[in-house]
Amino acid sequence: MDSGQHAEPRKPGIFRTFVNLLVAVAFIFGLSWALRTFVFQPYEIPSGSMETTIMTGDMVFSEKVSYYMRDPEPGDIVTFQDPEIPGRVLIKRCIAVGGQTVDLQDGKVVVDGVVQDEPYTRGLPSEPLTPALGTTITYPYTVPEGHLWMMGDNRTNSQDSRYFGAIDESTVTGRGMLIYWPLNNIGLLG
């Protein structure tokens, strides 16, 4: 080759471009799957059981990382598998954990003999519900070890542990962290 000639750069072939595109798409889908499986999951809220903390139609992120390091605690807003409908996820507030005793007295929640301060209920009474068929709940109720007592903030419109009993901790899918839609409801949950 003499000094007056230049080598033409090779243009990538269609096959190579297609393979690169497939690799990029596979990476994006893999990353998306990993994030949804191990880090966070988006949910749309279908009912008013957590109003006014979370409104019907709000879009919520449930994060999973904190429960790799600690167990759910009273006060946490938790997503979990519906004990009655496989594949459906519910969101409620954790009221008590295994070993604690829950009682409902005069419309108030009492845990281990202490009346709970629950401003998120807007003063709605916490009354017993008729339990689901095959479920027996009597008060005071001691939450079994490895289980959680869950209640919706909208106490007069929530089928929760008063209905289906304490949930198995292994059914927890994450901690409600953030309302991200609609824009006028954006905010951290807590």
- pLDDT by residue (tens digit) across 1-56? 455 566 666 666 887 877 777 777 777 776 666 666 666 688 889 899 999 999 99
- Whether the predicted model's global pTM rises above the 0.85 cut: no
What gap in Å lies between CA 23 and CA 181, rounded to an integer? 32
For residue 90, the cross-strand partners are 80
Active site residues: 49, 92
Domain range summary for the chain, segments of one domain joined by +: 42-188
What's the CATH number for 42-188?
Answer: 2.10.109.10
CA 164 to chain centre: 18
- What pLDDT sits at residue 14? 83
What is the residue whose two structure tokens read 């988006």? 42
Q: Buried (b) or exposed (e) across 93-104, using 16+ Cβ within 10 A?
A: bbbbbeebebeb
Question: What DSSP designation does 183 have?
Answer: G
pLDDT band at residue 106, thresholds of 50, 70 and 90?
Answer: very high
